[in-house]
Structure 1
Amino acid sequence: MTRAVLTGIDGSPQSEAAVRWAAEEAVRRGAVLRILHAWPWLSAANVEGLPAGGLRPAALRALADAAEEIRRAHPGLSVETAVVGDDPADALAAAGEDQELIVLGSRGLGGFSGLLAGSVGLAVAARATVPVVLVRADGTAGPGGPGADGPDRREIVVGVDGHHAADAVLDFAFTEAARRGARVRAVHGWDLVPVWTAPGWVPPQVDLAVQDGSEQAALAKALTAARAAHPNVEVIAETRIGGAANAVVAASAGAELVVVGRRDRLHHPLGIRLGPVTHAVIHHSAAPAVVVPHD
């Protein structure tokens, strides 16, 4: 099977940034780059009608222009393009089943600055069977290196549940770090769980130093297999009090990638299957966010 990185383009600055990012990743992986443009009006049933009769040639021209730009930047890269007459999220999720990676642009939601993902990105990240990367367009923390206030070397941040670690998430983070010559910052966020008493909910009486030592031990155990599989990857194991999402978002400044997991068995009546931590991280991460599905 041909190794490929899939990306989608819709003419927005976010999707253009995603195509460039995907091209660099395809070169890094020795894979084919596949660029897809999807919209329901581009279906075969609508090609002869209006407005699709004019839209399909325009879509083809946009794809050709994007492919030509990528080929000029990466002469040895194989680039394939396709137009699909379907809902973008449906088309990308379906086309991504046989790919190594899906890379999508991201845009803010509801006018709130700092929000990362749009509706298509969220839908694909929630449904895809392969890792999905969400790339922002402003370049503040792109794939080329750390930000101005970030670490002094290349770094992949991975969120780790020290008590229920996901092997697929850790393997992706460590493999990508090895591929990029980066180190891994494994972050485990924890918090105090309030207890119910007669006056109401109150913080538990816990020795924070002792509890943090316990969390550090759990994180070290969770990283054992990944460290053994990637002995040449430098690892920083970090625990932070304040919750998992806050910990990972705080660590994302200056990172090349932030890697989080999505449980395949996590279902929602509307079909979205992103847990609260992953949902928060992909909205607020300062770096491109990768959502890795796992059991």
Structure 2
Amino acid sequence: MAHGIVTGFDGSAQSEAAVGWAAAEAALRGVPLRIVHAWPWLGAALDDGPAAAPHRGALHESAEVAERLREAHPGLEVVTEALAADPVDALLAAAPEHRLVVLGSRGLGGFAGLLVGSVGLAVAARSTTPVVLVRDTAPAPAGSPEIVVGVADESSAAVLEFACAEAERRGARVRAVHGWELIPFWTAAGWMPPQADSALREADVRAALEKAVAPARAAHPGVDLVTETRIGGAAHALVGAAAHADLVVVGRREHRPAPRLGPVAHAAVHHCTAPVVVVPHA
């Protein structure tokens, strides 16, 4: 049975932010936290050369970070582990034993050419456990907490369930977002949106979204779950709606031909400033 939360630490600012977020989440859930530092040559080469210096420092820092977290969250069980393994392989191997994997990501935020760390992307694309990517520059929460979740259709049940369960823990509102696009048609002036059909199309989209969230509403009656449809496509809609979110939840289909993030999840982890949870689902 999966238990606890696992997070990766390499001494960077983004990994320290991820560990801090993971500790708060573990305390909220009442589960232990496991901090992993992995490097293929951690054993034999640890004392040799400048390449090993960052890893020697990270090992020392991880113990200090763990102690600070125990002080900040009394009663939280924190364990640290050093593994002589590739970080992606180590985290993917640990993921099924845990309820959540939390990793750091780096970048400029917004649409300014953000780069997410390769370890975070690889784990998020392949893990069978939900993965959270946390920035070291994430804005501090302001006002009532809100979780934004991207909803494609009724296949998003697992994604909505995660968002609502998290909202119950945090006392947060859930905003379920679905992006859609008008189908243009040709006129003498060029391609034009079918204005006469747009209202009908929007009504259909709203009805489908309400149908998709109905099971989550029934399962979590105490959660304030609101729906929102936006024209402009799914990725654009989610990133726009998540501008002031405290947490963003997206789905990833597990059975793609090759392990990868879909376009919506890819946009979220690259452009949303809040922590992003990638939830695998059928």
Normalising by structure 2, we get a TM-score of: 0.90
Distance between the aligned counterparts of 2:269 and 2:55, measured in 1?
32
Q: Alignment partner of 1:69: what SS?
A: helix
Match runs of 1:168-207 below 5 Å:
168-194=158-184, 202-203=191-192, 205=194, 207=197
Q: Tell me the secondary structure at the aligned position of residue 5 of structure 2.
A: strand
Cα offsets for 1:121-179 (capped at 9, x unmatched)? 11110011111111111131x5xx23xxxxx42111000013x4321111000100011
Aligned residues: percent identity? 57
The question of whether the paired residues in 2 share the 8 Å contact of 1:188 and 1:240 is answered with yes
Structure 1 residues 54 and 220, CA gap change in structure 2 (3 angstroms): closer
Aligned to 1:88: 87
Measure, in 1, the Cα distance between the counterparts of 2:192 and 2:31: 51
1:210 to 2:208 alignment:
no
Partner residue, 2:129: 130
Provide the secondary structure at the position in 2 that maps to 1:91.
helix
One-letter identity of the residue aligned with 2:271: H
Deviations 1:42-101 (A, max 9, x none): 1x4545765688676544312211111111211211001101112211211111121010
Preserved CA contact (<8 Å) 1:6 1:35: yes
Q: Which stretches in structure 2 are left out of the alignment for 5+ residues? A: none
The match for 1:245 among 232, 235, 246 is: 235
CA distance 1:124–1:130, shift in 2 (3 Å): same
Q: How does 1:248-287 map to 2 (within 5 A)?
A: 248-268=238-258, 272-287=259-274
Which string of whole-angstrom CA distances, capped at 9 and with x for unpartnered residues, describes residues 179-230 of structure 1?
Answer: 11011100010112456x799x945635211111100000000011100000
1:26 aligns with 2:26: yes
Seen in structure 2, the aligned counterparts of structure 1 residues 114 and 23 have a Cα distance that, compared at 3 Å, is farther
| 2:78 alignment partner in structure 1 | 79
Partner of 2:149: 158
Using the alignment, how far apart are the partners of 1:2 and 1:283 within structure 2? 28
CA RMSD of aligned residues (A): 2.5
Distance 2:192 2:279 in 1: 33
Matched residues in 1 for 2:4 and 2:58: separation?
A: 22
Deviates more, 1:186-195 or 1:121-130: 186-195
Give yes or no for the alignment of 1:290 onto 2:280: no
| Residue equivalent to 1:101 | 100
Aligned residue for 1:6?
6
- 1:13-51 deviations in Å (ceiling 9; x for gaps): 101111110000000000101101111121x45457656
1:16 aligns with 2:16: yes
Contact kept, 8 Å, 2:128 with 2:280, in 1: the verdict is yes
> Do the aligned residues in 2 keep the contact of 1:266 with 1:274 (CA within 8 Å)?
no
| Cα gap change, 1:46 to 1:286, in 2 (>3 Å) | closer
Gap regions ≥5 residues in structure 1? 147-151
Amino acid in the other structure paired with 1:262: R
State the number of aligned residues.
280
SS of the residue 1:108 aligns to = coil
Q: Does the alignment pair 1:227 with 2:226?
A: no
Give distance in 1, aligned partners of 2:44 and 2:187: 66
Structure-2 residue corresponding to 1:149: none
CA distance in 2, matches of 1:256, 1:55: 32
Output the amino acid matched with 1:153: S
User: Which residue identity lines up with residue 280 of structure 2 in the other structure?
Assistant: P
